[in-house]
Every structure is written in structure tokens, then in C-alpha cells.
Amino acid sequence: MKKRTAWILAMSFGCVASMGIAQHKAQDRRQYLDPQTQVTDDPRRVPVKPGPRGPEGTVVLRGGRIFDGTGAPVREGTLVIERNKISRILPPQATDWPKDARVIDVSGKTVLPGLIDLHTHLSRGEDQDFAASISDSASTLIALEKLRYFIESGITSVRDVASRSDVPFRLKAWVAQNRIPGPRVFAAGQFITGEGGHGTEGVPDELVRMDGETRVASGPDDWRQAVREQFHNGADLIKLGSHFTAEEVQAAVDEAHELGLKVTVDAETFYIDRAVEAGADTIEHPLPRSEQTIRLMAKKGIAADPTLVPYMIIFDTSGGYFDTTSRRFTFSKEANLEMLRRLKRAGVKCGVGTDLIGDWYRHLPTVYITELKQFVAAGWSVPEALSAATRTNAQILDMDDRLGTLESGKLADILVIAGQPDIDLDDLDKVDVVIRDGNVVVEHGQIVIPRHVPVREWKPAAM
């Protein structure tokens, strides 16, 4: 069991990615899409059959405090949702909506964009026996429970950066179809690393393959092939991890960008240098890197997903991060917070992720709030930290044209808090209403599952 626990801990911290705000992907096919063409609401942007989306009708959030995530001051207002999109934000006393609209009084409450978690592993739960650890059904059940915890905490999108088999892709589809409650899922598929790389240290090859979360690759051509496999399976992004050669990470980043996907990388020390030089889009975790590399991240527009909170848990419960060759350096809670400060001083765009492995997701929303408080401790204001959790995270997801702010035409992923989280982050614990894709999925703090509607009337034939 101790070996299994060490392996789960080792598997959890592997995701460095780069974000192309100042840089351009090798092939961004969106330039060939007419803006009127309907496409999937994910970074793949696959054309779909035209037609209305989301639930029928209009939902009105009347008379709340509007924190829109754009950097504008909080203001009183009424937000109108038509089907799955934000229609408009009205003055607080306006009544310009259809007579049959559903009106929810949010007076005195704060309306803000749904929160986003950039670093999750949906299929990875508390310690399991071996049979459960290689079971798609057990992994799916764990993921279903995690989705409930996330959505109840006001998190309307999660970026899954390595899960078992096709579990995250199936969950993504079911959530999108509103068949199960949960946040939007943006999935990377398998974690790609080298033989003996992060997450595989001391684990037999047979067990790595059976676990299904990791794709071990060797040589530039195989790293390209591994990226293609994740794209084939439905990946919204690619996740790489050290170790790798400069040629291997370059091949993987180039292939992902040619497929139109961003790359996130879990690396440390000089492996971060290689990932940044290769043009990755985001670097995960607060792991050591040089000042020169931090400056290059800022220059190239490569983002960071610091994930301080999982290391805080490890240091508090285990005293340190031990028994892994991909963590051969000294670090601490203080050093990690200082890394976040250094990234901020350099102007690196930083997003919010939690990397909750084991049973840590049961601490939601406290752990998410704690991550935001680390941003404040590193120099962000409370409103800036909230914007990092919404607008900045949407940018890193490559979804900022649809998510992250409350603006007309954006997708209706909305959180209502019975408090003022722009003043006191602890108020994020007071989730009242959560709307995802225009569907009211949490009301009065509890999951809402409407009664099923029969597809058609059926009566048995006469005997």
C-alpha cells in the first residue's frame, strides 16, 4: 500500500504547458472558419450541425452584484440568459425580458463567471486495491463523485491533465449533453513522458500500461506519435512531462500545435528550460527554474499554473516530497510562494489549478480558496485573484472567446455567491446558484437533477 501511495503521489504532479498569447501555433485552423460556422465548445473547434443549443427559454438573475471578470468595478445589475448564452446585463431596476422567463432573485448576492480549475485528475481517487486501480468502472465512479464536488463548489470547468483510458472523454460528452451534473471537462488524455520519467519512477512497465494514465515515449518520432494518439482519442490539449530530450519535447510541441492544440508541461529545473525553448504554452507547478527562464516565459507569453495547494498538503501531512527522481531538489511552502512572486514580478500570466489527488477533492471548496489566497499572499488583489480563476484560466484553456467573463454572447457558465467574494475570498464557500451552459445545475447550494422526460408515449399492444 505504501508503494501504491507513493506512486499515486508521484503521478499527480506532472504537467508543464505553454500558452500561446504572444506566440502563434504552427497551424491555427480557426483562420479558415467563418465566424458564423457553429463549432464545438472546446479548443478542437470541430464544425457541428447548425441549430439552437442549451435549454429552451430565458433565465434572469435579478438585482445582484455583478463581478464580470473583465477588470471593471463591481456594479449592481440584472443578468439575462437566453438558452445557453449571456444575452445582456441590464440596470438593476430594468425588466426587459420575456414574460415567461424564469426569474431568480439574487439581491445582495454576487454574480460572477464560473470558476475554472486548470489541474485535475478526474479518474484518480483515494488509495484503492489493485483491481480497482486498473478498473475503468471504478475510475468512472470516482470521477463522477469528483465532478459533483467541483460543480457544488462553483467550478464550472475543469482541465483534466491525465486520467485513465477514455474515462474523461466519455464524461466530457455526458456533461455536455446534460446527462450528468458536473463542470465542463477539457481533457488531455494520457500523460506523455520518457521511460523512467515523472510518474513512472520505480513502477514496473506492465503496471504503467495497465494503469492507463501514462504514455511512455522514446525518441522524437514516438513523442509525435504519442501526441497524435491523444488527438485521435479526443484531446483538447496535450500534457507532457519530464524527462525528455530537447528534440523530443520540440517534436511533441510542434505536432500538438500543428493539430491546433495547446501544450502543458510538468517539468523542473533544466527541463523547464527545454519546454520553454520548444514553445510550450503553460508550465505546471512551482518547481525550480532560473531567472533567465522566467524572463523567457514572460517574453514568449508562456503561462504558469502554480498549483501551490497540493504541495502545502504534502508538506503538512508527509513532511516533504520523497522517493521520486523527478523531484531531486529542495523545496518548501515558502520557496513555492516565492516562485509565484517571481513569476508575478516578471509579468508571467498565472492561472489557478489545484491538482487534488487521493481524497483531497473532499476538501473542496476550501482547497481552491486556499490556492487563491496564495495568489493574494504573492501580491494579487482579491479581485485580481478572482480574475485569474476565471478570465486568465479561460485564456490558458484557449476558451476566452466563450468563457471567463460575463459579457453578451459568452456561454452562460455563471456562479452566484451569497456574499462578496471580491472582498472576502472565504465567501466563495457560500455557493447559492451554479449555471453551466445555461442549465441551472445547483440551486440553494444543492445539485439539481430534473425528473426525466419520456422520449415518447408508449402503451402495450392489446393481447
Residue 80 located in a structural domain:
no
pLDDT score, position 6: 43
Render 146-211 in DSSP notation, one character per residue. HHHHHHHTTEEEEEE---STTHHHHHHHHHHTTSS---EEEE--SEEEETT-TTTTT--HHHHHHH
Instruction: Tally the C-alpha atoms within 13 A of residue 208's C-alpha that lie toward its C-beta.
Output: 22
Q: How far is CA 234 from its chain centroid?
A: 16
pLDDT score, position 130: 62
Q: Are 293 and 278 in contact (CB under 8 A)?
A: no
pLDDT score, position 25: 52
Q: Which CATH number characterizes residue 177's domain?
A: 3.20.20.140
Residue 321 located in a structural domain:
yes
Q: Are 448 and 440 in contact (CB under 8 A)?
A: yes
Residue 382 located in a structural domain:
yes
Q: Which amino acid is at 63?
A: G
pLDDT score, position 126: 66
Distances (CA, A) of 47 to 55, 227, 237, 446: 21, 22, 18, 35
Q: What is the pLDDT along the chain (463 residues), one digit of tens a residue?
A: 344 444 444 444 333 333 334 444 545 777 888 989 999 999 999 999 999 999 999 999 999 999 999 999 999 999 999 999 999 999 988 999 999 999 999 999 999 999 999 999 999 776 556 666 678 888 899 999 999 999 999 999 999 999 988 999 999 999 999 999 999 999 999 999 999 888 777 776 766 666 778 999 999 999 999 999 999 999 999 999 999 999 999 999 999 999 999 999 999 999 999 999 999 999 999 999 999 999 999 999 999 999 999 999 999 998 888 777 878 788 899 999 999 999 999 999 999 999 999 899 999 999 999 999 999 999 999 999 999 999 999 999 999 999 999 999 999 999 999 999 999 999 999 999 999 999 999 999 999 998 888 877 777 887 6
Range of the domain at 340: 2-20+115-397
Residue 462 located in a structural domain:
no
Residue 389 located in a structural domain:
yes
Give the total number of structural domains in the chain.
1
Residue 268 located in a structural domain:
yes
pLDDT score, position 29: 75
- Interior CA angle at 412 toward 355 and 97, to 5°? 160
**CA–CA dist 226, 252 (Å, integer):** 8
pLDDT score, position 129: 62
Residue 56 located in a structural domain:
no
**CA–CA dist 147, 168 (Å, integer):** 11
Reading the block at residue 339, the C-alpha cell is: 516562485
pLDDT score, position 452: 87
**CA–CA dist 192, 85 (Å, integer):** 36
> Is the preceding peptide bond at 243 cis, omega within 30 degrees of 0?
yes
Helix (H, G, I), strand (E, B) or coil at 69: coil
Residue 127 located in a structural domain:
yes
pLDDT score, position 327: 82
Whole-prediction pTM: 0.92
**CA–CA dist 227, 46 (Å, integer):** 18
